[in-house]
Every structure is written in C-alpha cells, then in structure tokens.
Homo-oligomer: A and B are copies of this chain.
C-alpha cells in the first residue's frame, strides 16, 4: 500500500467501452478521464463536440455530434459507434437543460425543451444502449440526476419536471433491467460543481463538488458486482444544506 496513495481492493471490472452523452468541460470530462484510466475506450457525444477536441486527444476518445433529444440523432450516434466497433457497454447520460422563474412567466417552448433534453433524450439514449446490451446480458446505464429530481423547488418547475421524469425512468429501468444483467443507476448530484468559471470562496473550502470526486463514485458503481448493486447514490459537499 503506502506511497501516499491508498487503493481500494475491487473486483475486476469487465466493462470495455464507454459512451458519455451531454459531454462538456465539467463532470463529463472527469468521467471521460476516469474511464480512460480504468482502461475503457471512451466516446463523447455532444451538441457542440468541437469544444471536446483537446480532451478527446488527451485520452484517445472519439467525439460525435448529437442532439440527444432528437430520435434520429441518437440512432445515427449508435449506428456510428457500431460501425466503429465501439458499441458501448457503459453509457452515462449527462445532458440537461433548465429554465427558471415564476410559473406564470415560463415560456412553454423552454419547458418543453427542458423536459426533452433532461428526460426524453435519456430515454432515447438508454433505449438504443439497452438494445445492444441485452443480448449479452451485460452493461451499465447511469443517469445523472440532481436534487431537483427528489425535491421540487419553487420557481424551478421545468427542471423539477425533467429531473423527476429522469428519476422515474431510472427506477423503472432498474426494476426491469437489473434482473437481465444491466446495471442501471441514478446519481443525484446535489450542489454546485467546481470549474474554471466557478471557483470556491477561499474561506469555504470544499464547498463545491470536485468533478473528479464525483467521477470516482461512478467508477465505484462500475466496480460493484451484480450481487451488490446500488441503483441510487447521491453526492454532496459537506457544507451543503439538504
């Protein structure tokens, strides 16, 4: 052990190829790096994949353009992955969209978009993924939730609708697919995530989530053997109210 770095004894991981949808500079980048370190090949899909070029180069990932709320985009994405021999056995859905404000001021088109990107896109991606996983009875689908998915906050109805729906999808999928060998999990991220643009106040250390730390909880889920799967996990800074 020693050497300043303690390592968990974990069961050997059998996952080989990950797809991260809704990839950006924050949590998705950390997941991509963590999965690559685990030895997985990584694919990244986003509406604007250009911004992912450096990350992709760093870890040898491929990038794909995809609006996950669009059925044919999602079909094309998985077709491309199949053609590329990168059919994923791990899929993380990370995309979300929100709009806020008093209920009476919300733009219905924005509400529709919030539900479409946050929840319906997750369904499309999960369905395409599971179709490919079921023949092997092997795979993992992880959906990134938020505290908005377990508590509906005032002036945030669209995000509540999207994230509640996502949690309902995750729970239904877990009940249906776990006994078929697919690990479905919903990760409740409760708090702000540290980033280049969003830094902690010096007097409030660790008050923002480190995306690398969140990624380690996803990696832990991947290491769980099927006799001890978690379907839900929440991560939260020590000083966060809940």
* Chain A residues engaging chain B, CB cutoff 8 angstroms: 1, 4-13, 34, 37-39, 71, 102-104, 106, 108, 111-112, 115, 119-120, 123-124, 126-127, 130-131, 134, 148-149, 151-157, 160-179, 181, 183, 194, 206-210, 213-214, 216-217, 219-220, 223-239, 242
Contacts and interface: CB of A to CB of B under 8 A. Distances in A.
A38 to B, nearest CB: 6
A24 to B, nearest CB: 18
Contacts of A172: 103, 152-157, 160-161
A131 B39 CA distance: 43
A224 B217 contact: yes
Taken together, the copies of this chain in the complex come to 4
A111 B123 contact: yes
Given A6-B38, A134-B104, A168-B160, A239 B178 contact: yes
A216 B108 contact: no
B179 A238 contact: yes
Given A235-B228, A235-B230, A168 B178 contact: no
A174 B235 CA distance: 13
B163 A168 contact: yes
A213 B71 CA distance: 38
A161 B168 contact: yes
Contacts of A224: 213, 216-217, 235
A148 B232 CA distance: 17
B230 A217 contact: yes
Contacts of A230: 217, 233-236
